[in-house]
């Protein structure tokens, strides 16, 4: 890793953007080597694959098997895109864990000091880590989302309940599901950089994904603003063909607000991580 960074570190004595631009690719190469060479990366990806695809397939198989006996209300609640993606309610935890482990293990083992010795510009090191993890998480998340969707449609075709990926709303929902899981991974990354402790960051990431919703529900409001700011409600709007109906519908943000939620969580948690990462290790 040190040799890789050293190759691109020669221009660091220069001032201005040229030096920074030449060092960043070397840092990113080093971070990519670290990310794809550790076992935890592929364990978390495998967990996301098993949970994301397995739970979603089980869900749609149950629907097709009981479709004839389902009530009108249950049929109306069925979503040909959201149901195949239902496994990512659990798979997202694996992506969040990937984000946490991408940086927390360096703090727990003390390897962060070696990293900062090779690349002393803390802001560039953090940027390289964030870019490499973000690109990898986006690739994995989109691949899993489209795989779950396509497998689900093969099962739903038995009852002629499938939709084509060329459907504009279906394409939007699947793509947004991938973006959502990427944001969860980056939120875990930011929390790990902020807390510098694996267990604490894992707990905080779990709370962020699953506990913010019941907390928001406890604040009754005619505007439902707390509900509209939770990640789970944003996912319910973004990763479905149509938003939930009934009483729950008032708690779901609009499509634009849900996209704003993703951007907000990304900026806030990656920003908090950057603030802490530029402080002394």
Would you say 68 and 74 are in contact if contact means Cβ atoms under 8 Å apart?
no
pLDDT score, position 242: 77
Q: Which two tokens stand for residue 190?
A: 């930011």
Helices (H), ranges, the chain: 2-8, 17-37, 39-66, 72-77, 88-109, 111-118, 122-156, 168-195, 198-206, 212-217, 225-228, 231-238, 255-277
d(CA 55, CA 81): 14
Q: Which residue has the higher pLDDT, 216 or 170?
A: 170
Do 56 and 48 form a contact (C-beta atoms < 8 A)? no
| Residue in 184, 188, 191 with CA at minimum distance from that of residue 275 | 191
What is the token pair recorded at 182? 């990427």
Average of pLDDT values for 97-124? 88
> What would the pLDDT profile of 117-128 be if each residue is shown by its tens digit?
877 789 999 999
- The better pLDDT of the pair 216, 70 is held by 70
Segment 245-268 mean pLDDT: 84
Contact of 152 with 58, CB cutoff 8 Å: no
Percent of the chain exceeding pLDDT 90 equals 50
Q: pLDDT confidence of 49, banded at 50, 70, 90?
A: very high
What pLDDT, on a 0 to 100 scale, did the predictor assign at position 152?
93
Instruction: Please state the domain extents for the chain.
Output: 2-277
Maximum separation of any 2 CA atoms in the chain, in Å = 72
Instruction: Please report the pLDDT score of residue 41 as a whole number.
Output: 94
- As a whole number, mean pLDDT of residues 197-209 equals 94
The whole-number pLDDT of residue 12 equals 42
What's the pLDDT tens digit per position in 169-201?
Answer: 899 999 999 999 999 999 999 999 999 999 999
């Amino acid at each position: 890793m040190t040799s890789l960074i050293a190759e691109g570190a020669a221009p660091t004595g220069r001032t201005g953007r040229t030096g920074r631009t030449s060092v960043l690719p070397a840092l990113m190469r080093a971070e990519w080597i670290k990310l794809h060479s550790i076992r935890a990366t592929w364990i978390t990806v495998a967990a996301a694959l098993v949970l994301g695809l397995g739970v979603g397939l089980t869900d749609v198989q149950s629907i097709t098997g009981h479709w004839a006996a389902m009530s009108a209300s249950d049929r109306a609640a069925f979503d040909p895109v959201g149901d195949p993606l239902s496994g990512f309610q659990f798979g997202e935890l694996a992506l969040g864990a990937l984000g946490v482990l991408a940086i927390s293990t360096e703090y727990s083992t003390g390897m962060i000091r070696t990293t900062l010795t090779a690349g002393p510009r803390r802001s560039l090191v953090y940027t390289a880590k964030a870019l490499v993890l973000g690109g990898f998480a986006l690739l994995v998340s989109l691949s899993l989302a489209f795989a779950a969707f396509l497998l689900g449609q093969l099962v739903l075709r038995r009852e002629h309940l499938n939709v084509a990926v060329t459907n504009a709303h279906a394409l939007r929902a699947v793509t947004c599901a991938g973006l959502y899981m990427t944001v969860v991974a980056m939120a875990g990354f930011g929390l790990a950089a902020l807390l510098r402790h694996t267990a604490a960051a894992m707990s905080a990431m779990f709370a962020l994904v699953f506990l913010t919703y019941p907390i928001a529900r406890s604040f009754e409001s005619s505007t439902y603003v707390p509900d509209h700011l939770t990640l789970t409600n944003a996912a319910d709007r973004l990763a479905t063909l149509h938003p939930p109906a009934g009483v729950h519908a008032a708690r779901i943000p609009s499509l634009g607000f849900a996209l704003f939620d993703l951007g907000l969580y990304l900026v806030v948690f990656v920003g908090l991580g950057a603030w802490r990462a530029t402080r002394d290790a």
